[in-house]
Amino acid sequence: MPREVREVVFVDGVRTPFGKAGGMYAETRADDLVIRCIRELMRRNPQLPPEMVDEVAIAATTQTGDQGLTIGRTAALLSGLPKTVPGYAIDRMCAGAMTAVTNVAGGIAMGAYDVAIAGGVEHMGHHPMGEGVDPNPRILAEKLVDPSALVMGSTAENLHDRLPGITKERTDRYGLNSQLKTAKAYADGKLQPDMVPVALRSAEQGWGLATTDEAPRETSMEKLATLKTPFRPHGRVTAGNAAGLNDGATAALLASEETARELGLPIAMRMVSYGFVGVEPEIMGYGPIPSTEKALKKAGLTIDDIGLFELNEAFAIQVLAFLDHYGIADDDPRVNPWGGAIAIGHPLASSGVRLMTQLARHFAEHPEVRYGLTAMCIGIGMGGTVIWENPNWDGAAK
């Protein structure tokens, strides 16, 4: 029987403040971070009956301990959703939350769901990247990939090798600008509305409350020039031009546009298309370029149609490669207006929804912009891009 494809909308998104790995969340469970986000989504949208949530998809890169046990289902139960609400766990490394969103969007589009929650969590203090992994020895023995493909910082150095015109000084300046933009966004009150305060406990210090990201810092080009290059002697990747190791969680509410309008839920963005691709694992930072080409082709758009960009700053070299490919200036105001992961942090599987939540806020402030995108590189050689339409576009009624 023919089935009509339905419009999928991004209703709302929230996140915890992002902490340094083993920092303010050292004695806080990973699942409690994502539970806090789900509860906040439901609090902010009381017109949504909890029993109408059809699915909870939560991503984590390391699915063990307090990030294991099918975290989408356990987080749904612990957040107070009815026991009838199912859930599952998902892993696509850095694009876990992005994939959770596109997965449930597919279900909404074909009518399997009306409303779903998608998000991600990563507690890198409890679960360092690569904890417990056992790569098949044939991957290296049969030379399917270079050993550097398993170390994300090394893949960034490899991308520098491929793109020698992108200098360390340029990546440092990009990192500095990310810090400056994030500091301004905080000063202007832009980031705070979608951050969920998290109660902290410490055996030594007692109770506290996390209300801001832990990673942003003051720096300068002079300071950045002195930082070590941990992935290669005399390399170009440092802690100043790359995202750190972080703890944090995100969650988003998605629905069919028809359901959102029936319930009186806000419509922050409308999904247009998405694309995931594979690239050489040794240069995984190149991934967002072909994934964006794929998403643009699916949408029937060109890069000139995109008015706002939220690009995950896993490494400055990755963002600059993207900008150079599309002829976009390093300081283009359309790109990461409030800074990015270099300043805010990148708790792996959670970051995709942070990008979306910020893009939704930009859309509300820029009705002259019709389309925007969120994009990120993904470990083991992949890229992901989602294109969104602004429902506030002032040409929509023309």
Residues of the chain with pLDDT under 70: 1, 396-398
CB atoms within 10 A of CB 235: 17
| pTM reported for the whole predicted model | 0.97
Q: Is 127 a catalytic residue?
A: no
What is the chain's alpha carbon radius of gyration, rounded to the nearest angstrom?
20
Q: Facing residues of 389 across strands?
A: 270, 371
Mapped onto helix, strand or coil, the DSSP state of residue 229 is coil
Per residue in 213-260, pLDDT tens? 999 999 999 999 999 999 999 999 999 999 999 999 999 999 999 999
**Alpha-carbon gap, residue 289 to 299, rounded angstroms:** 16
Q: Which residue has the tokens 């294991």?
A: 68
Q: Report the pLDDT value the prediction gives residue 397, as an integer from 0 to 100.
A: 47
**Alpha-carbon gap, residue 171 to 227, rounded angstroms:** 13
One of 123, 126, 127, 346 is an active-site residue; which one? 346
End-to-end CA distance of the chain: 35
Q: Report the pLDDT value the prediction gives residue 211, as an integer from 0 to 100.
A: 97
Q: Report the pLDDT value the prediction gives residue 204, as an integer from 0 to 100.
A: 87
Per residue in 168-183, pLDDT tens? 999 999 999 999 999 9
One of 37, 94, 123, 362 is an active-site residue; which one? 94
Q: Report the pLDDT value the prediction gives residue 144, as an integer from 0 to 100.
A: 83
**322, containing H or E segment:** helix 316-325
**Alpha-carbon gap, residue 208 to 20, rounded angstroms:** 16
Mapped onto helix, strand or coil, the DSSP state of residue 110 is helix
Q: Is 377 a catalytic residue?
A: yes
Q: What are phi and psi of 345, to 5 degrees?
A: 115, 160
**Alpha-carbon gap, residue 176 to 170, rounded angstroms:** 10
Directed axis angle between helix 152-162 and helix 316-325, to 10°? 40
Residues 390 and 272 sit within 8 Å (Cβ to Cβ): no
Q: Is 37 a catalytic residue?
A: no
